[in-house]
Structure 1
Amino acid sequence: MKSLFKLSLIAMLFAGLASCSNDDDSNPNINEGNAKLALRLTDAPGDYEAVFVDVEEVVIKYNGAQEDVALGINAGIYDLLELTAGVNVLLYDDEVPAGKISQIRMILGDENSIVVNGEVHPLATPSAQQSGLKIQVNETFEPGVLYEFMLDFDVDKSIVSQGNGGYSLKPVIRASSVAESGAISGKIFPAGNLTMITAVNGPIEISTYANAQGDFLLSAVPDGVYTVTIQADLALGLPAVVVENVIVEQGEVTNMGVINL
């Protein structure tokens, strides 16, 4: 069964954007007028107790522009492992200059850390702090049009264990346009605490955890036919369940119903 896929927008107005985002008439890649942009941060799960990321700023790079446009985002320190089962953080929801966008860059602060076996370790992110986590977009924003992106931070592929016992961040982030994608939902029984759901279609791999009630949502899933694997919480001692030929269509959520483990 399918239903219309809607993600509600939270109204957040940020002062000061207009002063740093004036149109540049000499640059043909920046158009007159403004587009609407919403950025949401979510997470593909990783085998850690917590991963705290200090998000300070997001900037947009326009093709051919000499200066980037800095956004007044909902900055803060976020535990990425809490952003599963359809939970996400709205980083930005406001206007930006219309034009040809090449990159979105997320700049991190110093308060990044990881929790392993109850111990907190600093998470080294030197390149991210200096130049930002580069997310390729390559899309033209038209005046008056809303563009909503889900930034899917793949923790498991982004954390590198160093030989000295430390940890560093080499980020892997997937950016998907919500308007050009769909979603997969369902309910797992029994739920467990760490039941992971993974959808695979060729090189595309999207994962999340079910919540305490067993509900899950894989968001910003591109069109296609997926193989969905449900790996039960190890404490339950149950084998994985594999469901093939799960079809995802643009603008819709594919509801897999109740999946018994």
Structure 2
Amino acid sequence: MKNKRFSFLAMCMAVAGMLGLGLSSCQKSSSSDTIPPDKNKLEIRFTDDAGFFDSIVVDVQMVAVRIDTSQSNEGREDHHPEGREWGELFHDHDQGWEDPDEHAIWDTLNIQAGEYDLMQLSNGADTLLSSDYIPKGRIIAIRITLGTNNYLVKNGVKYPLNLIDGFNNVYVRIYGDQIVQVHPGSYRLWIDFDAGRSVVKVWNGSFYLKPFIRAFVVSNMGTVQGFVLPMDAYPVITLYNASDTLYALPRKDGFFKIWGVDEGTYSVFINASNGYQDSTITNVQVTAGHITDIGTVHLSK
């Protein structure tokens, strides 16, 4: 496969996905295909929370799914533990992580390997990472293998984004409420790569990638959106409660969207600059499958 950087392309694919145009070159199948009797179909879409950089580019080289072939995804009642659904970074082997289930196998998915610019995948944008047939069974984990061409751009300057030596696999446990059946035998989930919490700057000024990744399903989670103006306040939006914190950077028109939010009551803190005053909105109610719109917030000096 050819390595490519996904920035403008990712946005085009996201728009195409919403319009149903199907710009998904990495697919081995389409929604109209007949699923073989011994297979399921899995679609994984890639999205991001905000980060405070011009670009954050991650080099995705391989994605595999762990499947318990003795069980089914239908009728699952397991739910992700609140506040502990984020993925884990491990060495380039599976020892110490895998469950001992003798019926569990890893299946490597067909993806478009290459560089994905996470900053192009915020505010509700996403891109197709994989759509592939997998052995029939219960999906219990996703493993993402990262390459070495990771970097960020800050104030126009490019910096390497290092991995801890040998630690290039990220594991995400999949629970029943993090995957949705879209057709009989066909499933979909989103992978949220939280850029804001995934970049660590160390004492010598170098940047390291410590991925915060989780799975979610749009219909099982809530969404908070709105507008913050003016943009010369350079607002940074924090959605938080006692168990979780999510971030957003508005688009040029002031619009922001944070999706994949657990049900609950949150506060929205808007950190402003350039002489504008901060603002806080409390008692923001988030409900699964619904959009909570806070309207337009006008910041003042």
Give the TM-score of the pair, scaled to structure 2. Answer: 0.69
The corresponding residue for 2:42 is 37
Question: Is the Cα–Cα contact under 8 Å of residues 56 and 108 in structure 1 kept in the other structure?
Answer: yes
Number of aligned residue pairs: give it: 239
Question: 1:101-158 CA distances to partner (integer Å, 9 max, x unpaired)?
Answer: 22111112221112234332222224453xx211111348878255433322222322
Question: What is the CA–CA distance in structure 2 between the aligned matches of 1:95 and 1:231, rounded to whole Å?
Answer: 45
Confirm whether residue 154 of structure 1 aligns to residue 167 of structure 2.
Answer: no
Pick one of 217, 221, 227 that aligns with 2:261. 221
In 2: Cα distance, 1:154 partner to 1:96 partner: 27
SS at structure 1 position matched to 2:125: coil
Q: Give the 5 Å matches for 1:201-212.
A: 201-212=241-252
Aligned-partner Cα distance in 2 for 1:78–1:117: 19
Residue correspondence of structure 1 range 6-155 to structure 2 within 5 A:
8=18, 11=22, 12=24, 14-15=27-28, 33-63=38-68, 64=101, 65=103, 67-125=105-163, 126-129=165-168, 132-139=169-176, 144=184, 146-155=186-195
Task: Tell me the residue number matched to 2:292.
Answer: 254
* CA distance in 2 between partners of 1:145 and 1:182 (Å): 25
Give the aligned residue type for 2:162: A
Identity between Structure 1 and Structure 2 (%)? 30
With over 3 angstroms needed to count, the CA separation of the structure-2 counterparts of 1:194 and 1:45, relative to structure 1, is farther
Structure 1: unaligned runs, 5 residues or longer = 1-6, 17-22, 24-31
CA contact (8 A) 1:100 1:141 kept: no
Letter in 2 for 1:214: G
> How far apart, in 2, do the equivalents of 1:201 and 1:33 lie?
43
Q: Which amino acid aligns with 2:118?
A: L
1:246 is matched by which residue type in structure 2?
V
Q: Higher strand share goes to which structure? A: 1
Aligned 8 A contact 1:98 1:141 in 2 = no
* 205-214 or 63-72, which deviates more: 63-72
Give the 3 Å change call, closer, same or farther, for CA 149–57 of structure 1 in structure 2. Answer: same
The alpha-carbon deviation at position 40 of structure 1 amounts to: 2.3
User: Which residue is equivalent to 1:187?
Assistant: 227
1:165-190 CA-to-partner distances (Å, cap 9, x unmatched) read 32221111132222211211111221
- Does the CA contact (< 8 Å) of 2:67 and 2:135 recur in 1? no
Q: Residue 68 of structure 1: SS of its match in structure 2?
A: strand
Q: Is the 8 A contact 2:264 2:286 kept in 1?
A: yes
Larger deviation, residues 98-107 vs 134-143 = 134-143
Describe the shift of the 1:194–1:99 C-alpha distance in structure 2 as closer, same or farther (beyond 3 A). Answer: farther
How many Å apart are 1:60 and its aligned residue? 0.3
Runs of 4+ in 1 over 4 A off after TM superposition: 140-143
Cα distance between partner residues in 2 of 1:89 and 1:123: 22
Cα contact 2:180–2:217 (8 A) shared by 1: no
Mark the CA change 1:48 to 1:90 in structure 2 (over 3 Å): closer, same or farther.
same
- State how far apart, in whole Å, the 1-side matches of 2:234 and 2:109 are: 35
In the TM superposition, what is the alpha-carbon distance from 1:66 to its structure 2 partner? 5.7
* Whole-angstrom distance in 1 between the partners of 2:277 and 2:247: 18
2: CA distance, partners of 1:46 / 1:226:
20
Render the CA deviation track for 1:193-231: whole Å, top value 9, x for unaligned: 842222113211121111000111111112222111222
Letter in 1 for 2:150: N
Question: In 2, Cα distance between the equivalents of 1:141 and 1:96?
Answer: 15
The AA in structure 2 aligned to 1:177 is V
- Residue in structure 1 matching 2:236, options 192, 196, 220: 196
